[in-house]
Amino acid sequence: MFHRSLAPLAATLLMTGAAAAQTSMPFALDWRFEGPAAPYFVAVDQGHFEAEGLEVEVTAGEGSLDAIPKVATGAFPVGFADINSLVRFLDQNPGAPVIAAMMVYDKPAFAVIGRKSLGVSEPADLMDKVLGAPPPDGAWAQFPIFAAENDLDMDRITIEPVGFPTREPMLAEGKVAAVTGFSFTSYLNTMRLGVDGDDLSVILMADHGVDLYGNAVIVNTDFAAENPEAVTGFLRAVAAGWKDTAADPEAAIAALGSRNPGMDADLELQRLTLAMEQNVMTEWVTENGMGNVDPDRLANAVEQIKLTYEFQNEPDPALYFSDAWLPDDGSLTMD
């Protein structure tokens, strides 16, 4: 069973010189301060969190398997993580107080990025090649499903465990023929290392039989039970941050740059644009608004996870996602 830490959940902090109070809600990202993280800083800078009575500090992470325990232990009340990794985590830690509360990547960014010059242009080309994969990587966690859907023989693929910092350099140097990663991360990072974009193949798993959702805002359910209005306010502010970002991506990158002054602004703008176009502002989101899921699709996704993961307990989509805290005031509309 999962053991909760003794770390306190976010406390209520008094505002200096004011009778009102702000609720502290530190937010654990799954990754570094790159383009797709910009909307959360926009929400901070534009006062969307403050308007909800929230004090939010955004913290970088090292993958979904880093972010999920942070929220499950109560060290962070909210975080950002791959829902498929969350499904496995909850199966292995039944009763852990964590659940997805807002879908952000309606279409997951899980991808295989290959070098065409090294013979990788499509899924079948991975046979008899070396694939670099960081063990905590969300895309690597879904690779067995991708392999099953594309009839790939895993025994004919040499898996090279790599660290996040060495993943793209190894691809650029030709030490591996392909890597797993988020499409907008590994593709652009490899180009930045001098590889011509025409030599890179971006094989989105969602375009090759993988019917999964991607990253979501996750919440500690103990915190949410005690602070439901704060959680709803947080989600409303996140949606406002994404809406502002879609309207002015350059301003969003400027907000990100104030937290990551050494970044390549043009590169991060490309990364943010790719994430919005491919993963966030999908046709379904345009029609239905941001944050919720299609119950049938989520159920199908759980069935697909069964293809390569043996559940210890009976899977139940209700354990993995809840719309209980999503605002119903029209603030999730993205048009």
Q: Which two tokens stand for residue 304?
A: 């697909």
What pLDDT, on a 0 to 100 scale, did the predictor assign at position 199? 98
**Residue 332 placed within a domain:** no
Tell me if 312 sits within 8 A of 92, measured CB to CB: yes
CATH of the domain at 288: 3.40.190.10
Residue 200 domain boundaries: 110-207
Domain final residue, candidates 167, 192, 207: 207
| Cα angle 228, 234, 236; round to 5 | 105
**Residue 4 placed within a domain:** no
pLDDT band per the 50, 70, 90 thresholds, residue 65: confident
122 CB neighbour count, 10 Å cutoff: 12
State whether 97 and 236 are in the same domain: yes
The chain-wide mean pLDDT, for the chain, equals: 92
What pLDDT, on a 0 to 100 scale, did the predictor assign at position 20? 53
What pLDDT, on a 0 to 100 scale, did the predictor assign at position 284? 93
**Residue 326 placed within a domain:** no
What pLDDT, on a 0 to 100 scale, did the predictor assign at position 17? 39
State whether 42 and 96 are in the same domain: yes
State whether 135 and 269 are in the same domain: no
Question: Which of 16-30, 159-173, 248-262, 320-334 is predicted least confidently?
Answer: 16-30
What pLDDT, on a 0 to 100 scale, did the predictor assign at position 50? 97
Q: Which three-class secondary structure state does DSSP give residue 93?
A: coil
State whether 227 and 255 are in the same domain: yes
State whether 224 and 305 are in the same domain: yes
pLDDT band per the 50, 70, 90 thresholds, residue 309: confident
State whether 186 and 158 are in the same domain: yes
pTM for the model stands at 0.83
**Residue 81 placed within a domain:** yes
- Per-residue pLDDT for 283 more than 70? yes
What pLDDT, on a 0 to 100 scale, did the predictor assign at position 212? 94
State whether 196 and 220 are in the same domain: no
State whether 309 and 167 are in the same domain: no
- DSSP output for 227-267: -HHHHHHHHHHHHHHHHHHHH-HHHHHHHHHTT-TTS-HHH
pLDDT band per the 50, 70, 90 thresholds, residue 2: low
pLDDT in tens, 125-153: 999 999 999 998 878 988 999 999 999 99
**How many folded domains does the chain comprise?**
2
pLDDT in tens, 291-302: 999 999 999 999
Rounded Cα distance, 280 and 282, in Å: 6
- Per-residue pLDDT for 122 more than 50? yes
State whether 103 and 114 are in the same domain: no
What pLDDT, on a 0 to 100 scale, did the predictor assign at position 10? 42
Rounded Cα distance, 3 and 5, in Å: 6
